[in-house]
Structure 1
Amino acid sequence: MRPSDLDLYQPEALLDPYAHYAKLRELGPVLFDPEREIWLVPGYAEASGVLRNHKEFVSGDGVTYEGVGDRLERYPLIENDPPVHTRIRRAVQPAFTKGPIEQLRPAIEAAAKSIAEKAVALGEIDAVQAVAQPMPDKAMELLTGLTPPSAQTLADWSDAVVRAQEPAASARHSELLIEALNWLTEVGVPGLPAHCLGRLITESGGANRGLEADGSERLMTLASIWLAGIDSTGAMLGNAIGAFIEHPDQWELLRARPDLIPNAVEELLRFEAPFRIFYRRTRAETEIGGTTIPASAAVCAVLASANRDPRQFPDPDRLDVTRENARTHLSFGTSIHLCLGSPLARLEATSMLTELTRRVLRFERTGEPVRSPSQTMRKFDSLPVRLVPAPGVA
C-alpha cells in the first residue's frame, strides 16, 4: 500500500470502512501513516493494550486527532490522567452506579414506549429523527436536568463536540461548541431543577465535592456528560436500525427471543462502533506488538477495526445477536477510561429495542440513507424507513 492508502480519513474509508480496516490488520499490529504522522493500531489485542496501558499511552495530551494543543478548554473525564482523572471520575461516578441507573429505569422505559408508539403510528419515518435522536435527548434531560432549546440545536451541538477536533473541522464547528457552552452557562445551568445531577456537579462539585470550583472544570464535566451522551447513543440506535434492515433474520430472532436483547445491544455495539477511533499520546519511547513507538507520538486505537478482528470475533462481519463474547467489544473503551455513561446507554438501547420488537415486524428502507460526514463517529444523518407493524399492532 502507498502511504496515502493507510489514511483513515480518506472518503472511501469513511463511507465503507470495514474493508479498509481489514487491509490495515493484514499489514501488521501497528502502522505508521507518514502523511498524517499518526500510528495506527487496528487489531483487537493491541488496541486493547494501548487503552489499558494509561501510563505509557496517556490521555492528558489529547484523545482526538488535534490533541489538546493550545485549546483553552479540555474535557475533564477523557483528557486527563491520574491522579486528576481519578479525582474527577470519583466525583461523578456514583450517578452511574446500579442504584441511580435503576431509579431512572421507569422513566427511560416510558420514554422508549412513547417514542416507539409514535414512530409506528407514523409508519414511514426518518429513523434518526423519530427514534435514534429522541431517546438520548430524553435520557440526558432525565439524568442532568438540562432542557435544550430544540432537538435540532442539541443535535448540532453534540455533533460539533466531536467534529471540532477532526482533520476536516471548520470554524463553524468551533462556533457551535462555543454556542453550546455559552447557553449552558447563561441559560442551562441557571434553569436547572433542584436535586439533579447538573446542579450537583455545578454547585457542589459532585458526590464528594471533588470538582474544583474555580475555573471551568465543573462546567466542562457537565458539558462532557451531556453532549457526549447525546451523540454516541443516538449513533448507536441509528446504526442498530440500519443493521437490522440489512440483517432481517436477526430482527426476527430478536422478536422471537426478547431475552437476547441485552446481548444484541453488545453485538450491535461491536458490529458498528459509534466511535471509530480514539487517540492516545506517548511521552516516552515504548512499543506495540514489537514495534518501537517514539516519544510524543499520536497513537490511534482503531476501535471499529478492533471490533471486527477475527482473532477475537470469529466471522466478524456477520451480525450475530447470540455471539457469546460480544460484550468484549471496545466500543465503550476499557480500563480507567471505560465510558462513564455506558450503563445508561445500555439501558436506553435495551429499552428501545424491547419496545420496537413488540411493535415492529420488520424495517423496510424507503430511500437512500445518508451517512454523517463525521470523521470520528459512525452514524446516520438520515435513515428513511417504513416500520411494518407487528400483527395486532394498530
Structure 2
Amino acid sequence: MVDLAFTAEPTDLDPYSPQAQRDPHPYYDRLRELGPVVHVPERDVWLVAGHAEAVRVLRHHAEFVSGDGVTFDVPTTRTERYPLIENDPPVHDRVRRAVQPSFTRNAIERLRPGVEAAAAAIAQDAVERGEFDAVQVVAQEMPDRAMTLLTGLTPPSAQTLADWSDATSRGEEPSGTQEHAAQVMEALTWLAGEGLPAMPAHCLGRSIVDDGGAGGGLEEGSQRLMTLASIWLAGIDSTGALLGNAIDAFVEAPDQWDLLRSRPDLIPNAVEELMRFGTPFQAFFRRTRAVTEIEGVEVPAGARVGVLLAAANRDPRRFPDPHRLDVTRENARQHVALGHALHVCLGSPLARMEVASLLTELTRRVARFERAGEALRSPSQTVRKFATLPVRVVRADGAPA
C-alpha cells in the first residue's frame, strides 16, 4: 500500500473552481492522469476520476459509507435524511424493499401509455413553436409529467418543481445558500400540506405515505415523507438535465441525429450513450470511517471521497474516444451515470423510458436542431445542465417551423 496519494497544490485542482466548473472534462482528464485518487487539501476532498476506481468505491459500501452524507456538505438546517441515498444497510435495504415493487419492469410498463402520450405532446409543441428554449419546453416538461404519473403529485408548475429540485442539490454544495435551504423547506411544506391530500388513490405516493410501501417497511412519520420527497425531487433534476444535455449534444453532432433518425432501433443504446456523454450528476460523495485504500493508495479515516461520475464516464481506459458522442457505442451501458451497485438509481427504468419516448417522437418530427441564441449553463456545482438552451428545429416534414 502506498502511504500517500498525490496531493494537489492549493487551487490547482479545485473541482469547484470557475475553470473546472466551466469546462470540466479537460480537468477530469488531468485528474485521471495523476493517479487513482487525488487529495485536494483546499477542499479536503479525495477525488476519484477513473471508471474502475469509481466502481470500486461505489461497490464497497461498508468502506465508503453513505450514512455520513453523500454530498459535499451535510447542512445542519435539514434534520431529516433522504432514506434511500443517505442510509447504509440494513436501513437502506428495508427502505428500498418497501418501494422497489413500484419500479419493477411490469410496474414501469404500466406507465408507458402516459409517458409516450406526454412525449408526443411535448415533441409536437416543440416543432410547432419552431424556435424555443429547450430547457423550458422539453427538459422541464418531460420529467414533470412523468413524475406526476409515477407519484400522483401535481406540483404548482413545472418551473416551480424544477426550482425545488435544483435547490435540493445546490443547497449542499460549497456555494449553497440559505435561499436554497428555504426552497427545499418550501417543497417539503407544500408536499406535506397540499401535495399529499390531493394525491389520487392507488398511486406510489399513497402507497408510501398511507401504507409504508410494500409490507409496511417504511416507518410512520418523516421516513415516509422523505422517501417520497427523494424519489419525487431526484427524478426531476437528473432527467431534465440529461434531456437538455442530449439536445445540445445533437446540435453539436448532427451526424448522430441523422443516424438515429435513420436507425430508430438505436434509440435504446443512444439513451445509454447520452447518459455517459452528458452525465447529469457530476459527483456523489462517500465518507470513510476507517483507514482504507483505493488501488493501493491509502485513504484516511474520516475522509470525504468524491466519486466523479462524469469523469468515470469519459475514462478512455473504459470508453475509447470518450469525448465523442457515438450512438452505436457497444459498451455505452457500462456508464455509471445512474450510480452503481447498492445505490444505483431506483428510478432508472422510468428515466430510460422518458428519454427513449421523447427521442422516438422527436426523430419522427425533427430533421435537425440548430442554435438560436447563446446557451447558458446553470451555476449548479453538482448537476451539469443548462439554464437556457435556445434552439430552432428544422421539421422532418419540410413544413416551415
TM-score normalised to structure 1 length: 0.98
- Structure 2 counterpart of 1:91, from 74, 90, 98: 98
**2:263 aligned with 1:257:** yes
Report the AA paired with residue 166 of structure 1. Answer: E
Alignment partners' CA distance in 1, 2:293 and 2:9 = 24
- Structure 2 counterpart of 1:210, from 192, 208, 217: 217
User: Is the contact made by 1:192 and 1:198 (CA closer than 8 Å) also made in structure 2?
Assistant: yes
**Residue in 2 that maps onto 1:292:** 298
**2:233 aligned with 1:233:** no
**Alpha-carbon deviation of 1:303?**
0.5
**2:127 aligned with 1:120:** yes
User: Is the contact made by 1:139 and 1:348 (CA closer than 8 Å) also made in structure 2?
Assistant: yes
- CA distances 1:47-81 after superposition (whole Å, capped 9, x unpaired): 11000000100000000001366741111000000
- Structure 2 counterpart of 1:283, from 286, 289, 308: 289
Alignment partners' CA distance in 2, 1:117 and 1:392 = 14
**Residue in 2 that maps onto 1:315:** 321
Alignment partners' CA distance in 2, 1:60 and 1:69 = 15
**Residue in 1 that maps onto 2:110:** 103
**Alpha-carbon deviation of 1:151?**
1.7
Mark the runs of 5 or more structure 1 residues left unpaired by the alignment: none
Report the AA paired with residue 290 of structure 1. Answer: G
**2:356 aligned with 1:350:** yes
User: Is the contact made by 1:61 and 1:68 (CA closer than 8 Å) also made in structure 2?
Assistant: no
**Residue in 2 that maps onto 1:151:** 158
**2:68 aligned with 1:61:** yes
**Residue in 1 that maps onto 2:4:** none
Alignment partners' CA distance in 2, 1:366 and 1:296 = 48
User: Is the contact made by 1:62 and 1:68 (CA closer than 8 Å) also made in structure 2?
Assistant: no
Alignment partners' CA distance in 1, 2:207 and 2:299 = 42
- CA distances 1:176-210 after superposition (whole Å, capped 9, x unpaired): 00000000010000111111100110010002210
Map 1:148-227 to 2 at 5 A: 148-213=155-220, 215-227=221-233
**2:20 aligned with 1:20:** no
**2:27 aligned with 1:8:** no
How many positions carry a matched residue from both structures? 393
**Residue in 1 that maps onto 2:275:** 269
- CA distances 1:262-290 after superposition (whole Å, capped 9, x unpaired): 00010010001100001000011100011
User: Is the contact made by 1:359 and 1:393 (CA closer than 8 Å) also made in structure 2?
Assistant: no
Alignment partners' CA distance in 1, 2:393 and 2:217 = 47
**2:385 aligned with 1:385:** no
Alignment partners' CA distance in 1, 2:371 and 2:112 = 31
User: Is the contact made by 1:286 and 1:292 (CA closer than 8 Å) also made in structure 2?
Assistant: yes
- CA distances 1:233-275 after superposition (whole Å, capped 9, x unpaired): 0000000000000011100000000000000010010001100
TM-score normalised to structure 2 length: 0.97
Higher mean displacement: 2-11 or 319-328: 2-11
Report the AA paired with residue 105 of structure 2. Answer: K
Report the AA paired with residue 65 of structure 2. Answer: V
- Structure 1 counterpart of 2:53, from 41, 46, 59: 46
User: Is the contact made by 1:205 and 1:218 (CA closer than 8 Å) also made in structure 2?
Assistant: yes
Alignment partners' CA distance in 2, 1:23 and 1:3 = 16
User: Is the contact made by 2:9 and 2:40 (CA closer than 8 Å) also made in structure 1?
Assistant: no
SS in 1 for 2:16: coil
User: Is the contact made by 1:68 and 1:74 (CA closer than 8 Å) also made in structure 2?
Assistant: no
SS in 2 for 1:160: helix
SS in 2 for 1:211: coil
**Residue in 2 that maps onto 1:306:** 312
Alignment partners' CA distance in 2, 1:178 and 1:67 = 15
Among all aligned residue pairs of Structure 1 and Structure 2, give the percentage whose two residues are the same amino acid. Answer: 67
- CA distances 1:130-162 after superposition (whole Å, capped 9, x unpaired): 111100000000000000111221111010010
Alignment partners' CA distance in 2, 1:370 and 1:226 = 26
Alignment partners' CA distance in 2, 1:216 and 1:9 = 33
SS in 2 for 1:279: strand
Report the AA paired with residue 277 of structure 1. Answer: A
Alignment partners' CA distance in 2, 1:277 and 1:247 = 26
**Residue in 2 that maps onto 1:76:** 83
User: Is the contact made by 2:140 and 2:159 (CA closer than 8 Å) also made in structure 1?
Assistant: no
Report the AA paired with residue 198 of structure 1. Answer: G
Alignment partners' CA distance in 1, 2:392 and 2:351 = 25
**Alpha-carbon deviation of 1:4?**
1.0
Report the AA paired with residue 6 of structure 1. Answer: L
User: Is the contact made by 1:61 and 1:69 (CA closer than 8 Å) also made in structure 2?
Assistant: no
Alignment partners' CA distance in 2, 1:316 and 1:152 = 33
Alignment partners' CA distance in 2, 1:185 and 1:38 = 36
SS in 1 for 2:110: helix
SS in 1 for 2:67: coil
**Alpha-carbon deviation of 1:393?**
5.7
Report the AA paired with residue 78 of structure 1. Answer: I
